[in-house]
Structure 1
Amino acid sequence: MGSKFLVGAATAAHQVEGNNIHSDNWVMENLEHSTFAERSGDAVDHYNKYEEDIKMLASAGCNAYRFSIEWARIEPEEGVYDEKEISHYRKVLDCCEENHITPIVTLHHFSSPAWLIGKGGWGDSYVEDAFARYAEYVVSKLERKLPYICTINEANMGFQLQKVIEDMMKSMQREGNVQVGMNMDMSAVMVGLEEQANAFGCDKEHINTFLAARSQEQELFVMRAHRKAYQAIKKVSPDTKVGLTLSLFDYQPEEDGQEEAARLWQEDFGFYLPYIKEDDFLGVQNYSRKVVTSAGALEPAQDAPLTQMGYEDYPAGIGHVLRKVAKEFPGELMVTENGIATSDDKRRCEFIKEAFSGVESCVKDGLPVIGYCYWSLLDNFEWQAGFCKTFGLIAVDRSTQKRTAKESLKVLGTLAG
């Protein structure tokens, strides 16, 4: 694959750092009628243990680490920047450098400052300049240490959630229709909305956290926030490669499903393409496939192996999606997330080998794929689902925060070699 091919793992700040007290997620987790299965709390204390975690990644043989900088830490109040937190992330980047790890930094991975939600959140044009200012501030402080930036993680998640909710209104669907841990108990959701509205200082129709359902019209605020951030970053650091990431399913049409599969792909990818086609790279995120007929995407077959997340265990999907994206996106491609939630690490080892084989095949065929990041480095907080979904290459005993590398970490490191 060549010495410059990036192989590593990914995390997101809120899911691993702990005590992200100025974020919208922290507010929602701590409400009386929270829709979260449990609170993030100390999470897996990556905020204090990042050095140990990065060294474990490096000693296994990996050469890349994708992690997020937490906006709510950097700008806990609107216009008030916390130099101590910028200093923290500078130390994380220094640690990567010392361990010969290429950092891939995400500026927004689902969690936002609580104050932003009171201003309209991600469903209002206000977010565009607010996000660009934050991006410019971070890069101006850290520019020499930022070879790759993903502005926004899974920028298409809002519309994917909108479709799931619409489907649920027609008939109760399994949570495996979206690649994130969500609570789809609508009665619990409705009870919690009033409390959220009071907490954020907005009405319950306008609680636009990033993980809220959005129309395609509202998705344009997200894409314009990305474009403005892209321009702000390039102004400060022209050599930094900038892109975003998308959540993409491997849609596999049956004979009568070609048209429907094309429509689904257009909603997940084609709609966003005009806003990203000038980016340096695209972060491709895939966990499963969906078989499609003229009636829509089918539930997994009864005998299909499922992950803890409720979707089909299908490692071949990432290679298929890379090939599909490469036909339309002109820049470089990076697998920024791909993984399996399972308690069986032997299966995780096999999943990684099978998925990586598909990525290797793409590279051999000349596709501009520059890296592969497994999700995730650590067993962590899977949003509304809590700590029960185990994706990690490293197990964490949360009573002591003791780390134990799994065999799968060694497997990934071997592939990096």
Structure 2
Amino acid sequence: MTEFPEGFLWGVATAGHQVEGGNTASDTWFLENVHPTLFRERSGTACDSYARYEEDLDLAAGMGLNAFRFSVEWSRVEPARGEVSPAALDHYDRVVDAALIRGLAPVVTLNHFTAPHWFSAAGSWAAPDAPEVFADQVDRVVARIGDRIAAAVTLNEPNLEQLLQAGGKLPPEAELLKRDMLAAAARAAGTDRYVTGNVIPAAAQDEFQERFTLAHRAARAAAKARRADLPVGVSIALAHEVALPGGQAHRDARRAAVYDHWLREARDDDFVGVQNYETFWHGPDGEVVPDGARNGMGSVVDPDSLAGAVRYAHEVSGVPVLVTEHGIQTEDDTQRARFLPAALDSLGAEIGRGTPVLGYCHWTLLDNFEWIFGYGPKLGLVSVDRETFARTRKPSADVYAGLVRRARTAGNPDGGRRDVPVPA
């Protein structure tokens, strides 16, 4: 392991709808229950983390981590427009305090794809007042917990659909089913249009990029108005794009279509969040798929992917990078255990070359609900029994813990300790 800077955030990332369970007032829950639906199964109780969050925090602390990324579910806080739930705000207040007591700096995502059902039924992010409505949510959340969190992520992967389409990850039949599902949702909701943050028709991508941009700016302003020194940024999906001989034009076109808007937008932020899972290689005639071991996504496993993505993110944005997600989808945990050391060593080497990286949050702590794919994909360091919700650490969790322990103690007499305010 290359030496990482003192105060580096070592964490895991989670998302409310994917682990909490029972997120019944959300737009994603609504889409899971319409017919037809693109979702293979319903989220249901998920990992029951709304009740078991302390157990999850114990798992993170038990790996020697010093950071924990989670999202505040807007649909819990404001289940009906204008009706704020004190109980939900109290819950997230307790999560923050519980993290701090365990030495985990909270990294809070203000919107991780899901939004209230009423929001999406009223036009979603394309509604004229969406930025202001989201800013109100950010204001109430930061007013409650903003004094004790390490960083805030406004939006999670607002460019995801562009990446999926550019990489050919969505076949035509999936796009058709998506449109049919959204039309069914609109009929069921009694509205003209129904769209969610991670289920956007291809024809609406440009419109939603513009609206997401306005929402991000409004959220950043609202957070800063409450706490001027709070680090705020946006997290984007960012693959490592590699140009083979003659492939530079194709690579640059992909970057321009998928990443560059948000990397330029991040120039006004405190950091840019990078979420990396894949490498794409480009030749003169388009994408080239080399030989090599594959992960559960069907992609070639490339431990250097993260370092390449981080390098490009900083080159364009000019701001520090926070790795808000990185991992590998695989049923074979030995593959994950081999992948993590190589990827983190490559990241450390990139930091050594001068690229500023604030921290690394592995996706994810638990095997969870992976959106339209249901509970099939496995990305967690910890498995979850679907009946009892018992958590079991995988060998890769021990590998990650060992890497973090060595990185936090190398050259740091205090063990890489990061001071966080602990509640009385």
Give, as a single letter, the amino acid of the residue that structure 2 aligns with 1:370.
Answer: L
- Asked if the contact 2:236/2:262 (under 8 Å) is kept, the reply is no
- Asked if the contact 1:7/1:373 (under 8 Å) is kept, the reply is yes
- Asked if the contact 2:113/2:156 (under 8 Å) is kept, the reply is yes
Deviation at 1:189, TM superposition (A): 3.4
Which residue is equivalent to 1:168? none
Secondary structure of 1:373's match?
Answer: strand
Q: 1:369 aligns with which of 357, 370, 394?
A: 357
2:178 counterpart of 1:189: yes
Q: 1:345 aligns with which of 329, 333, 346?
A: 333
- 1: CA distance between counterparts of 2:165 and 2:310? 25
**Mapping for residues 1-40 of structure 1, pairs under 5 Å:** 1-40=4-43
Question: TM-score scaled by structure 2?
Answer: 0.90
Structure 2: tracts of 5 or more residues without a match:
406-424
**Mapping for residues 374-413 of structure 1, pairs under 5 Å:** 374-413=362-401
Which residue is equivalent to 1:202? 191
Deviation at 1:235, TM superposition (A): 0.6
Deviation at 1:190, TM superposition (A): 4.5
| Aligned CA distance change for structure 1 residues 270 and 85 (closer, same or farther; 3 Å) | same
Residues 167-216 of structure 1: CA distance to partner in whole angstroms, max 9, x if unpaired?
xxxxxx555x9xxxxx953454354333211133333xx32211113332
Secondary structure of 2:384's match?
Answer: strand
Which residue is equivalent to 1:98? 101
2:117 counterpart of 1:114: yes
Deviation at 1:295, TM superposition (A): 3.1
Give, as a single letter, the amino acid of the residue that structure 2 aligns with 1:262.
Answer: D
- 2: CA distance between counterparts of 1:3 and 1:61? 15
Give, as a single letter, the amino acid of the residue that structure 1 aligns with 2:45.
Answer: D
Q: 2:261 aligns with which of 262, 267, 271?
A: 271
Deviation at 1:158, TM superposition (A): 3.8
Q: 1:218 aligns with which of 188, 208, 231?
A: 208
- Asked if the contact 1:159/1:216 (under 8 Å) is kept, the reply is no
Secondary structure of 2:369's match?
Answer: coil
| Aligned CA distance change for structure 1 residues 124 and 312 (closer, same or farther; 3 Å) | farther
Deviation at 1:367, TM superposition (A): 1.5
2:317 counterpart of 1:314: no
Which residue is equivalent to 2:321? 333
- 1: CA distance between counterparts of 2:175 and 2:40? 14
- Asked if the contact 1:8/1:412 (under 8 Å) is kept, the reply is no
Deviation at 1:255, TM superposition (A): 1.5
Which residue is equivalent to 1:261? 251
Deviation at 1:162, TM superposition (A): 5.2
Question: Taking every aligned residue pair, what percent have the same amino acid on both sides?
Answer: 35
- Asked if the contact 1:158/1:219 (under 8 Å) is kept, the reply is no
Secondary structure of 1:129's match?
Answer: helix
Give the stretch that moved more between structures: 354-363 or 303-312.
Answer: 303-312
- 1: CA distance between counterparts of 2:182 and 2:380? 32
Deviation at 1:267, TM superposition (A): 1.8
Which residue is equivalent to 2:53? 50
- 2: CA distance between counterparts of 1:83 and 1:190? 36
Which residue is equivalent to 1:167? none
- Asked if the contact 1:27/1:199 (under 8 Å) is kept, the reply is no
Aligned pair count?
399
- Asked if the contact 2:321/2:357 (under 8 Å) is kept, the reply is yes
Deviation at 1:296, TM superposition (A): 2.7
- Asked if the contact 2:77/2:84 (under 8 Å) is kept, the reply is yes
- Asked if the contact 2:155/2:216 (under 8 Å) is kept, the reply is yes
